[in-house]
Amino acid sequence: MSKMKFADTEENVVTREEFPLAKAREVLKGETLAIIGYGVQGPAQALNLRDNEFNVIVGQRAPSPSWDKAIADGWVPGKTLFSIEEAAKRGTVILYLLSDAGQITSWPEVRAQLTKGKALCFSHGFGATYRSQTGIVPPADVDVILVAPKGSGRSVRRLFQAGRGINSSYAIMQDATTRAFDRVCALGIGVGSGYLFETTMEKEVYSDLTGERGILMGALAGVIEAQYALLRKKGHSPSEAFNETVEELTQSLVPLVGENGMDWMFANCSTTAQRGALDWKGKFRKAVEPVFEELYQGVASGNEARITIESNSRQDYKEHLEGELSEMRNSELWRTGAQVRKLRP
């Protein structure tokens, strides 16, 4: 582990040079890594670990589409693919990668298999952080750790296959064996992380929920809808409104910002765009600061967790969710997007 300075703050980071794959294999030699859940993160982490020559098994309910997907990916029922309870029993390191709602439902059968010396690894701090609401309270004699890749499961797998990897945060909530640090680093390197940076369960879930509801999805979707609607109201065509709102953002600007930073983007656009962006950036920031403050407080207080748990507990939630997604999908904005994507060279 080394110290890396970001702005005026030193952070603990673990790089591939400090903790190479060979060391990760040695740390987890003799361990059975049980991936519980094969939905979003499960496939990517399971396949990456398998490709990196770790001993991996998968636990998933059957029959289910995820069970069928696991078989299609080469996991063999009775050998490397089991029920959730059986996989948790066989695993010495349990990667609990079900959805937040799924973790709550399956916790009793997983908890029963958490015997002394095992490790319970999360990729999201929701269940353990909001334990008073989820009921997920690990026993005191197991390691409780977190490896949280900073991207979707598809990105985790795609970047791994490209030989790059994606950054992950790591946390140690409970070190019952004195091996928690080595275990968490080995898992982080094993799933293909570019580097690991230290956090806590609470900070991971607070930043994650804020990000998802904020700039990563909620805020982004909201400002896209607002600008598109304004341009349409002012007489611009659907194609023009979409291209100026979404297409240029996703196909041109965001990749360049990712490669070079926003400062580079400001320095390498037209002087007209540059002046306008600098003048309006502060106005947008002031407008959304109170919204972000309200959002963070809702996350930290547990209110957002309560809303999520209550919503997912409703019998008709999937139907209600599909209605909300269908409304978005069938909006003029995203119907236009579907047509524009077809015209990409």
Q: Which residues are catalytic?
A: 124
Nearest partner of 234 among 247, 249, 244, judged by Cα: 244
Nearest partner of 18 among 3, 37, 29, judged by Cα: 3
R_g over Cα of the chain: 22
Encoded tokens for 272? 């007209």
Rounded CA separation 99/84 (Å): 14
Q: At residue 140, what are phi and psi to the nearest 5 degrees?
A: -75, -15
Nearest partner of 37 among 101, 125, 90, judged by Cα: 101
Rounded CA separation 315/338 (Å): 32
Question: CB-based contacts of 141: which residues, under 8 Å, 6+ apart?
Answer: 116, 117, 176
Question: CB-based contacts of 113: which residues, under 8 Å, 6+ apart?
Answer: 85, 88, 89, 91, 94
Rounded CA separation 29/23 (Å): 10
Rounded CA separation 62/112 (Å): 20
H-type helices in the chain, by residue range?
Answer: 21-27, 42-51, 65-72, 84-90, 100-111, 126-129, 131-134, 153-161, 180-190, 201-213, 218-233, 238-242, 248, 254-260, 262-267, 271-300, 303-313, 317-329, 332-342
Q: Are 8 and 31 spatial neighbours (Cβ–Cβ below 8 Å)?
A: no
Nearest partner of 65 among 39, 40, 84, 88, judged by Cα: 39
